[in-house]
Structures are given as structure tokens and as C-alpha cells.
């Protein structure tokens, strides 16, 4: 393997240490950052994510206010809770775990969150501010990708970035964040013709598809940076990314592993956004 690993686990751990110090400092000013986590129903994966988020909050000293609601909660009841949390001065960030049960309109709920508490960055105001290049809460996974690039002091100015995937939670926002750093960005997706040709000219490849090793190592340009957002569980329980790791690592300059790459960064960025929101409360 020629590439250097970008170790998301180590980077996340050092960021969380710094966050714990920032939280301690805020507490000296009598501000305790607070994150409300709302889970509706009992989707097993969502339950795991929510408890990981709660534990991560506790470790850095963020107050986490948990709301576990039954699957039959109505949209009105959920909107009433969001309203209450919007008005609660102890709460700096509100996270409604997705997906919501089918009878609830996700957009209506995300739009009800006050933009100044939208630490997930999914509110249309946050998205609009990202599009127009204004400061905003950045959604957590793409923000984590940007921190990983920053950790290797990668200068995106004028670079060719190829993003594979156009979801609202990863592909589109990460493309906009790279554009804001003056990269030339191409977004590839399921209808893209000749994906290989796009990937071959990329200085930075960001894969967010959800298909095991679909990005072939031989497509990677020598010296490219490869960020693999994909998490694909195999039948034997192993996790693999969207990129053919060994073959890509033989050509890349830097590459993120799966697991231990982008994954640990996502929750860290949620904590970062919550602390940032609490700082804004002080000012
Ligand atoms: P999604 O299913 O919403 O989007 C997948 C995208 O891939 C779509 O835009 C689609 O157009 C594109 N695509 C599908 N087939 C393609 C093909 N053959 N060629 C090119 N593009 C194709 O997925 P998502 O929510 O953006 O997640 C993508 C992956 O990232 C998943 O594996 C998910 O588990 C992972 N993920 C990881 C984190 C993390 O914290 N590390 C967070 C979110 C998502």
C-alpha cells in the first residue's frame, strides 16, 4: 500500500478531546451545551445511532435531553415537541433521528426546527445558506469529510473533485462544501455515463453510493486522495466501503479506511455543531 491512511478514529478522538475542553470553558461561563435527541419508533439501527450520540455527548460534557417516542406518535405531537425544544433555553441543538415512521412528513418536521438549533444542517434555511456560501451549520457527514481533508492540509483550490452520489445528506452538501473551497466539482450518480472516466481524472474522489467496492482501484489517478463514505455490511458481518480499498490504496496518496474513516467523524461533527451553537448563545 502506497497511500497514507487518514485515520478517522484518531482524528475524531483528538477533536473530541478539544471539544471536552471547550465545553469545560463554556461551563465556567455557566453555559452547558445541550442537545435534544428525538427518536420516534424502534428501528434497531436508529436506536443504535441515538445511543451512540447520547454516549458521545456525555463523554464531552454536553447535556443530552433524550426523547424516545412510540412509533404511533402523531405528526402533531412530534411538532409540538419540536416547538417546545425550540423554546427551551437549555437546548442548543435539536436532532430528530431519520427515518421517521411513514405517517409523518419528514420535511414538515425538519422545517419546524429553529434554524439556530439545526445542528444536523437539514433545515431548508441551513441548506440555502450552504448553497449561497453563507455561514451555517454544516451537515455532519460532509463536514466530517471536509475536516479529514483539512487534517492532511489539502488545498482544494483549483482541484478536480469527483463526488459519487447525490443524496441530500452526503453527495450534494459535500459537493457544495468543496465548491466553496474553490474546487472544480463533478457530481456523479446512478445515471452518469462512464463513471470510470470521471473518476480517472479526479484529484479527490469522494464516494457516497452504498455499493460494496464499486469504485475500482484501477480508476484512481496516481496520487489522488480517496474519501470513502460508503458503509456496506457483508453477509459475514464485515464492513466494506464503496471503494476497492487495496487496489485504490496502491495508487492514491491518501485514503480513508472503512471502518474507522468517515464513520467516527459524523458524530464528532454533531458535537462540534452543538458546541458552536452554545457559543452563539453566549454571544
Ligand atoms: P443514498 O442511497 O441516499 O444515495 C446513493 C447515491 O448513489 C444516489 O445519489 C445514487 O444516484 C448514487 N448511485 C447509486 N448507484 C450508482 C451507480 N451505479 N453509479 C453512480 N452512482 C450511483 O445514500 P447516502 O445516504 O448518501 O449514503 C451513501 C453511503 O454512505 C451509504 O453506504 C451509507 O451507509 C453511507 N453513509 C455513511 C455515513 C457515515 O457516517 N460514514 C453517513 C451517511 C451515509
- On whether residue 12 sits in a domain, the answer given is no
Start-end of H helices in 88-181: 106-112, 124-131, 140-151, 171-180
| Count of alpha carbons within 13 angstroms of residue 96, beta-carbon side | 28
What is the rounded radius of gyration, in angstroms, for the C-alpha atoms of the chain? Answer: 19
Q: Are residues 74 and 144 in the same domain?
A: no
- What pLDDT does 197 receive? 98
Question: CA 145, CA 140: separation in Å to the nearest integer?
Answer: 9
Structural domains in the chain (count): 2
Q: Are residues 107 and 158 in the same domain?
A: no
- On whether residue 16 sits in a domain, the answer given is no
**Contact between 229 and 175 (Cβ < 8 Å):** no
Residue 60 has pLDDT above 90, yes or no: yes
Q: Are residues 43 and 82 in the same domain?
A: yes
Q: Are residues 59 and 164 in the same domain?
A: no
From 145, 199, 206, 208, give the residue whose CB has the most ligand 1 atoms within 8 Å, as the site to mutate. Answer: 208
Is residue 53 flagged as an active site residue?
yes
Q: Which three cell numbers stand for residue 46?
A: 436508529
Q: Are residues 182 and 214 in the same domain?
A: yes
Q: Are residues 97 and 149 in the same domain?
A: no
Task: Indicate if ligand 1 lies below 6 Å from the C-beta of 166.
Answer: yes
Total-model pTM: 0.97
Cross-strand partners of 2: none
- The CATH number of whichever domain residue 50 belongs to comes to 3.40.50.10860
Question: CA 126, CA 120: separation in Å to the nearest integer?
Answer: 9
- On whether residue 121 sits in a domain, the answer given is no
Is residue 97 flagged as an active site residue?
yes
- What pLDDT does 250 receive? 98
Task: Indicate if ligand 1 lies below 6 Å from the C-beta of 259.
Answer: no
Query: pLDDT digit string (tens) for 92-147?
Result: 999 999 999 999 999 999 999 999 999 999 999 999 999 999 999 999 999 999 99
- On whether residue 123 sits in a domain, the answer given is no
Residue 167 alpha carbon to ligand 1 centre in Å: 7
Q: Place 282 in a pLDDT band, splitting at 50, 70 and 90.
A: confident
Task: Indicate if ligand 1 lies below 6 Å from the C-beta of 208.
Answer: yes
Question: CA 220, CA 230: separation in Å to the nearest integer?
Answer: 17
> Average of pLDDT values for 208-220?
98
What is the residue range of 250's domain? Answer: 139-262
What single DSSP character describes residue 130? H
- On whether residue 20 sits in a domain, the answer given is no
Q: Is residue 23 classed exposed, middle or buried when 0-12, 13-18 and 19+ CB atoms within 10 A define those classes? A: buried
What single DSSP character describes residue 215? B
- The CATH number of whichever domain residue 227 belongs to comes to 3.40.50.720
- On whether residue 61 sits in a domain, the answer given is yes
- On whether residue 62 sits in a domain, the answer given is yes
Query: pLDDT digit string (tens) for 145-170?
Result: 999 999 999 999 999 999 999 999 99
* pLDDT > 70: percent of the chain: 100
Task: Indicate if ligand 1 lies below 6 Å from the C-beta of 188.
Answer: yes
From 6, 99, 170, 232, give the residue whose CB has the most ligand 1 atoms within 8 Å, as the site to mutate. Answer: 170
Cross-strand partners of 96: 38
Beta strands at 239-240 and 232-233: parallel, antiparallel or unpaired = antiparallel
Start-end of H helices in 138-191: 140-151, 171-180
Amino acid at each position: 500500500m502506497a497511500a497514507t491512511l487518514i485515520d478517522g478514529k484518531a482524528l475524531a478522538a483528538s477533536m473530541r478531546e478539544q471539544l471536552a475542553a471547550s465545553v469545560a470553558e463554556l461551563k465556567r461561563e455557566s453555559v452547558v451545551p445541550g442537545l435534544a435527541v428525538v427518536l420516534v419508533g424502534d428501528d434497531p439501527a436508529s436506536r443504535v445511532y441515538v445511543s451512540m450520540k447520547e454516549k458521545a455527548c456525555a463523554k464531552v460534557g454536553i447535556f443530552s435531553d433524550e426523547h424516545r417516542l412510540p412509533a404511533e406518535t402523531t405528526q402533531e405531537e412530534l411538532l409540538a415537541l419540536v416547538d417546545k425544544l425550540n423554546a427551551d433555553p437549555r437546548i442548543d441543538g435539536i436532532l430528530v433521528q431519520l427515518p421517521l415512521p411513514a405517517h409523518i412528513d419528514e420535511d414538515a418536521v425538519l422545517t419546524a426546527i429553529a434554524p439556530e438549533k439545526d445542528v444536523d444542517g437539514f433545515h431548508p434555511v441551513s441548506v440555502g445558506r450552504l448553497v449561497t456560501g453563507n455561514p451555517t451549520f454544516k451537515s455532519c457527514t460532509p463536514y466530517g469529510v471536509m475536516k479529514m481533508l483539512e487534517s492532511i492540509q489539502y488545498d482544494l483550490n483549483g482541484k478536480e473533485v469527483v463526488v459519487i452520489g447525490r443524496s441530500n445528506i452526503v453527495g450534494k452538501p459535500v459537493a457544495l462544501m468543496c465548491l466553496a473551497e474553490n474546487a472544480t466539482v463533478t457530481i456523479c450518480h446512478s445515471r452518469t455515463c462512464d463513471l470510470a472516466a470521471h473518476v480517472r481524472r479526479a484529484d479527490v474522489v469522494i464516494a457516497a453510493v452504498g455499493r460494496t467496492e464499486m469504485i475500482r482501484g484501477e480508476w484512481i489517478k496516481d496520487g489522488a486522495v480517496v474519501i470513502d463514505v460508503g458503509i456496506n455490511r457483508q453477509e459475514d458481518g464485515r464492513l466494506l466501503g464503496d471503494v476497492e480499498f487495496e487496489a485504490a490504496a496502491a495508487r492514491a496518496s491518501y485514503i480513508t479506511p472503512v471502518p474507522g474513516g468517515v464513520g467516527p467523524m459524523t458524530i464528532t461533527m454533531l458535537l462540534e455543531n452543538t458546541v458552536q451553537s452554545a457559543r452563539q448563545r453566549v454571544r
